[in-house]
Amino acid sequence: MPRKYFRKYLPTHEAVLRNRWIAQFGDLLRHPNLWHLNRHSVAGGVAVGMFTGLIPGSNPVQFTAAALVAILFRVNLPIAVFVTLYTNVFTVVPLYYLAFKLGQFVLMDSHGAMPAFAFSMEDKSFSEWISELSHWLTSIGKPLLIGLPLLAVIFSVIGYWAVWWGWRCYSVTAWRSRQRRRAKGIPAP
């Protein structure tokens, strides 16, 4: 992929290791795949980000989970954290609805509809709102509990292979282009 473009903006491996925040973690953050841009590391980072992006909770929870899983599997950490942003205020409801429907499909329970959430909560306190939200989430129940991890796995597998094949196609195309230029005697740009 366009690593040369990204390398202009990314710090070197030595600069990352000298960073005072990263140095506090010792050898935990020193593995080269956590910071390098290669096909396997970036594809793994996308897969981790796609999976952890569907963890219920706010972005800091997803960021932390993505960082921990990226360290565990030694894939690109910044990519993993960045990719979790595909779940946001605009996409979380459609994604959870898709997960609910996927859970219904797996459970072969197509007759149940997703219960409506009462959005008119202006006159209620925060504790009443939390109680109503937890009641709504428990009414969704088993289909969401099964559909959400299944959707996360599907997204992570698709993300991994899309990046892996895209990177491979780009590399093969660039290699063939260099071979054609060399055959014609044209110098490399």
The more confidently predicted of residues 109 and 183 is 183
Which tokens go with 121? 């909560």
Residue 76: which residues within 8 A CB-CB, separation 6 or more? 33, 34, 35, 36, 37, 41, 42, 44, 45, 70
The more confidently predicted of residues 117 and 48 is 48
Q: Residue 169: which pLDDT band, with cuts at 50, 70 and 90?
A: very high
* Position 67 in a domain: yes
Give me the domain span that covers residue 65: 3-114+143-184
* Position 125 in a domain: no
Stretch 44-60: mean pLDDT, rounded? Answer: 92
* Position 124 in a domain: no
Distance of alpha carbon 154 from alpha carbon 99, whole angstroms:
11
The per-residue pLDDT for range 128-153, each reduced to its tens digit, is: 767 776 776 666 678 888 999 999 99
* Position 122 in a domain: no
* Position 54 in a domain: yes
* Position 120 in a domain: no
The per-residue pLDDT for range 54-109, each reduced to its tens digit, is: 998 878 899 999 999 999 999 999 899 999 999 988 898 899 889 988 988 988 87
Helices (H), the chain: 3-7, 13-18, 20-23, 39-52, 59-73, 77-83, 92-107, 126-140, 142-184
Give the highest mean pLDDT range of 1-15, 134-148, 164-178.
164-178
* Position 34 in a domain: yes
* Position 170 in a domain: yes
Region for 86 from its dihedrals, namely left if φ exceeds 0, alpha if ψ lies in -120 to 50, beta otherwise: alpha
The per-residue pLDDT for range 26-43, each reduced to its tens digit, is: 677 778 888 888 899 999
Give this prediction's pTM.
Answer: 0.76
Distance of alpha carbon 69 from alpha carbon 80, whole angstroms:
9
Stretch 112-117: mean pLDDT, rounded? Answer: 61
How many residues are listed for the chain in this entry? Answer: 189
| Residue 163 pLDDT greater than 90, yes or no | yes
| Domains in the chain, number | 1
Distance of alpha carbon 129 from alpha carbon 23, whole angstroms:
43
